[in-house]
Structure 1
Amino acid sequence: MQTLRLIIQLLDRNTSERNISRQLHISRNTVKFYRERLQQRVYSYKQLQGLDDELLSEIVYADLPSTQDEDERKQDFRQRVPYFLSELERTGMTRQLLWEEYINQHPDGYRYSQFCHHLHELGKVLQPSFHARYNAGELMMIDFAGTSMYYVDRPTGEQINCPVLICVLSFSNYTYVEALPNGRLPALIAALNNCLRYFKGAPLSLKTDNMRQVVQKSNRYEPTFTELIQQWALHNNIALVATRPGKPKDKAPVEGHVKISYQRIYAPLRDQVFFSIQELNEGIRRQLEVHNNKNFQGKSYSRLWQFSQQEQHLLQTLPDQPFMIKHSTSAKVQKNYHVTLGEDWHHYSVPFHHIGKQVTIIYDQQTVEIYLNHHRITVHKRFFNEHGYTTLKEHMPENHHAYQQQKGWDSDYFLRQALQVGPATRSYIEGVLKGRQFTEQTFNSCRGILRLGSIYGKERLEAACHRATHAGSYSYKTLSNILANNLDKAPDIAQTTLFQTPDHDNIRGAAAYE
């Protein structure tokens, strides 16, 4: 409209079309088009300059064919867009399938690329996004990532999957991420306690989707929360809020940060192997610091800066002690002087002289306390690996301490001991260690082989290992038989015949099968 008004102003001054074109940097045809349109009206140039934009636009563009006129094909497509969008929300439906259905009904319709383009453009109009504003210190949103992370259990080599919790302060987008031992409510509450300590304060409210750990009964207006999460919220003076069922955009900030976590935490850690959940969370924390210190895209400040400068001082002060869930159960001390915590199926030791007694186990996310007649007899750090054993040396009888020493054995230990005998013994022990899927299963064999050196002497053990290595047989029994039968003293020629079937008349030749 500004250009149009300049054209009217110059025409009122009797400026030629050529000069108007040169001054305004537009084509002469454009100037000619507007001059002819304006001359058809009853208004003078002075009167046109006094009109507002809306009225001037109606005068100039009246009776012109609209540039927005659509052909019948696009009009038909526009009417179908709501149906297309609703169908795409159904499980398994894709744009390719929609297009195939569309083109079967309308062979003259859009090809696939144009179909996707128009669906995208028209869908933006029918599904606009709302930019929500949040107040500092007011709201924290939480969600579980769709993909878990894992660590490797050293003794078994088992891959332990861990759900990942993501918490976001909606005003500053300051983020906290933690891998949990499991997805149950006690683990969630422990992670939320860690989150509040990381933020150094508590927001006024917490919003989550209708996850079963938090919401006992979903409802659009009055959801029912589980009793334990309500106790945690009261302890920290936090109000609980749940999203509408099936409306993930109600917590859009944390939904977006799930995707960002895949890019900035999962991806950088993808090739690292962790051997405990503590190591895993240390790796997550390092990448989390990088994420929070990284500037927002297109902005000169980071999440950490916005949090520390504008939000942290508005968070509520945390209670002196974090909320802690205490559970109680009873158990009988088994003959192996351990009790079983049924929730995790993990076994914890007690002093062996309490075998057969009934004890009480008080436990939370961090510790396991064991009481006998209201007197605490031991305390352990809690572990979550099923069927695992946590044993303290002082709980064992004297004759079991040797077994406990075995826990410190590893491949390097046996290789060092074998090298003291000789290089053949070391090579043989290395073959034994590689003979089983789990190296720990070979430790007793290695122990027995080394003991043969104290029975027969290191020189004979070295010679026996030399012979057995040539035969490719790696076991304690092989060496024991060689030494018991003095085969280690046989001439060198026996090396090639020791493990071969001797020639005799009862062997069939090729002629027997003609």
Structure 2
Amino acid sequence: HLESMYSYFSVELKKIGVTKYLLWQEYITENPGGFKYSRFCELLGEFSKVKGATLSFTHQPGELIEVDFAGDKLSYIERSTGQIISCPVLVMILPFSGLSYVEALIDSTVPQIIKALNNGLASFEGASKSIISDNMKQWVKKGNRYEPEFNETLVQWANYNNINLLATRPYHPKDKASVENMVKITYRRVYAKIRNETFYSLKSLNKRILEKLEEHHVLNFQKKTFSRKELFESEEKQTLQALPLTPYVSKNYTQAKVQKNYHVVLGEDWHYYSVPYRYIGKQVRIIYCTDYVEIYFGNERIATHSRNYSKNNFTTELSHRPNNHQAFLESQTWNANDYLKVASKYGPSTELYFKKVLDSKPNVDHTYQICLGILRLAKSHPKRIERACERALKGVRFNYSILKNILDNNMDKIEESEVEFKKIPEHENLRGASTYK
């Protein structure tokens, strides 16, 4: 009777909160003369061992690639914000040789998975006949033990590379046991060895991952005299299918209206990309893949950017800005030497006046706005600014208002009359110092 209930117990134990003791209580209530709790657990354990018997597979070279995401993520620090970016990690393995590929991704979306799969095939220098993953939502659109429905984009990728897509049975991770084991190896030989290192870009993180993975590949198998790389080179590499001349690229299309700040937003990432300002208010078409974003007006490509996945941020090309915006932003990056360099072109008095302004406040940064105003006066009055500064230098205060007042009232054009000092003539009514002794 108890043996007939083993299958029921196995299913129930997978449910949240269900324990062996609870099942025994239910069992003994229905069967008062049944086994005691200790014997019940012993028999249930023996059944689990029998049911848990494993089947060993012999993999053929070039037949299969197994794919899975590692349960734990890696991360890097975004320099501009100091934000820690967590990255899912995709693991691929050729079960016959054990050669593998590991890559940290921006996210676990289908375009990023396809990009990593392309990189994996490139590292193997060929494609297997089939590729298998579990029933993750990016891989399987509709699960079925015998005929699962795969993601359309992945189907296109598989057809492009002449690979057969496969999926494991639901809740059967041992259907891809090699990659499950490779995830554990990745934790030990990649994660553990770089745990004390700091990375500031996804590129540097992946470069380090591949370095550690290469060290793993050249190590000999336990109790064997050859490594995974040697086995791959000698027996599996030649069995792989040749890759297409160019890797598969999944392109997406959308439309957007150019905003007043001459940017369009890519809604998938909520990131803003610039276009030439003359297209403000126009409807444009955006074509993008995992690496690039292209923007078209009609049939003309008006902008190209590297794709950026940071939300609510801007990617801007300087030439897309209006001239006055360019000049303003350029001035925001200037320091004291930049202002003096420009001032010297107008003359020595102008340069000296700028020095006086820069020295007029304890914090030199507070004078940059004043210098910017004086430069605008200089551009408006290029032939008069030197003379105006020369006159202003005779005072004790040095600022924008004084120079503007001189120029507005044409004081720089007034010739100062020289005072002629003459000797006082002698006269009988003039008394000298001797009179007051």
Task: Answer whether TM exceeds 0.5 for this pair.
Answer: yes
Distance in 2 (alpha carbons) for counterparts of 1:312 and 1:347: 44
Which runs of structure 2 are paired with 1:414-453 in the superposition (5 Å)?
none
Structure 2 spans left out of the alignment, 5+ residues: 29-33, 339-353, 365-396, 398-437
Alignment match, 2:126: 201
* Greater relative CO (CA pairs within 8 A, separation 6+): 2
Tell me: CA distance 1:299–1:402, structure 2 relative to 1, closer, same or farther (3 Å).
Answer: farther
Distance in 1 (alpha carbons) for counterparts of 2:189 and 2:356: 57
Distance in 2 (alpha carbons) for counterparts of 1:403 and 1:132: 68
**Cα deviation per residue 1:298-336 (whole Å; 9 max; x = unaligned)?**
222221111111101110000011111111111111111
Alignment match, 2:227: 302
Tell me: CA distance 1:280–1:458, structure 2 relative to 1, closer, same or farther (3 Å).
Answer: farther
Cα displacement (A) at 1:185 = 0.9
Tell me: CA distance 1:296–1:396, structure 2 relative to 1, closer, same or farther (3 Å).
Answer: same
Alignment match, 1:455: 357
Alignment match, 1:373: 298
Tell me: CA distance 1:408–1:144, structure 2 relative to 1, closer, same or farther (3 Å).
Answer: farther
**Between 452-461 and 129-138, the greater mean CA deviation after superposition:** 452-461
Distance in 1 (alpha carbons) for counterparts of 2:81 and 2:55: 50
Alignment match, 1:232: 157
Structure 1 spans left out of the alignment, 5+ residues: 1-76, 418-451, 463-483, 485-514
Distance in 1 (alpha carbons) for counterparts of 2:79 and 2:332: 12
- Aligned equivalent of 2:82, options 149, 157, 165: 157
Higher helix share: 1
The answer as to whether partners of 2:70 and 2:89 remain within 8 angstroms in 1 is yes
Count of residue correspondences: 344
- Aligned equivalent of 2:207, options 262, 265, 282: 282
Cα displacement (A) at 1:170 = 1.4
2:83 is equivalent to residue 181 of structure 1: no
- Aligned equivalent of 2:309, options 384, 387, 391: 384
Tell me: CA distance 1:320–1:453, structure 2 relative to 1, closer, same or farther (3 Å).
Answer: same
The answer as to whether partners of 1:393 and 1:404 remain within 8 angstroms in 2 is no
Cα displacement (A) at 1:406 = 8.6
The answer as to whether partners of 2:9 and 2:23 remain within 8 angstroms in 1 is no
The one-letter code sitting in structure 1 at the alignment partner of 2:259 is Q
The answer as to whether partners of 1:202 and 1:316 remain within 8 angstroms in 2 is yes
Distance in 2 (alpha carbons) for counterparts of 1:339 and 1:149: 31
Tell me: CA distance 1:161–1:407, structure 2 relative to 1, closer, same or farther (3 Å).
Answer: farther
Tell me: CA distance 1:302–1:404, structure 2 relative to 1, closer, same or farther (3 Å).
Answer: farther
Cα displacement (A) at 1:273 = 2.2
2:216 is equivalent to residue 291 of structure 1: yes
The one-letter code sitting in structure 2 at the alignment partner of 1:455 is V
Root mean square deviation, CA, Å: 3.6
Tell me: CA distance 1:122–1:404, structure 2 relative to 1, closer, same or farther (3 Å).
Answer: farther
Tell me: CA distance 1:386–1:302, structure 2 relative to 1, closer, same or farther (3 Å).
Answer: same
2:268 is equivalent to residue 343 of structure 1: yes
Tell me: CA distance 1:454–1:342, structure 2 relative to 1, closer, same or farther (3 Å).
Answer: farther
Alignment match, 2:91: 166
**Cα deviation per residue 1:421-442 (whole Å; 9 max; x = unaligned)?**
xxxxxxxxxxxxxxxxxxxxxx
The one-letter code sitting in structure 1 at the alignment partner of 2:231 is Q
2:325 is equivalent to residue 400 of structure 1: yes
Alignment match, 1:145: 70
The answer as to whether partners of 1:453 and 1:461 remain within 8 angstroms in 2 is no
The answer as to whether partners of 1:141 and 1:251 remain within 8 angstroms in 2 is yes
Tell me: CA distance 1:107–1:317, structure 2 relative to 1, closer, same or farther (3 Å).
Answer: closer
2:94 is equivalent to residue 192 of structure 1: no
The answer as to whether partners of 1:453 and 1:460 remain within 8 angstroms in 2 is no
SS at match of 1:231: helix
Distance in 1 (alpha carbons) for counterparts of 2:221 and 2:9: 34
**Cα deviation per residue 1:165-207 (whole Å; 9 max; x = unaligned)?**
1111111111111111111111111111111111100000011
The answer as to whether partners of 2:132 and 2:165 remain within 8 angstroms in 1 is yes
Q: What TM-score, normalized by structure 2, do the two folds share? A: 0.69
Distance in 2 (alpha carbons) for counterparts of 1:317 and 1:124: 44
Tell me: CA distance 1:165–1:91, structure 2 relative to 1, closer, same or farther (3 Å).
Answer: farther
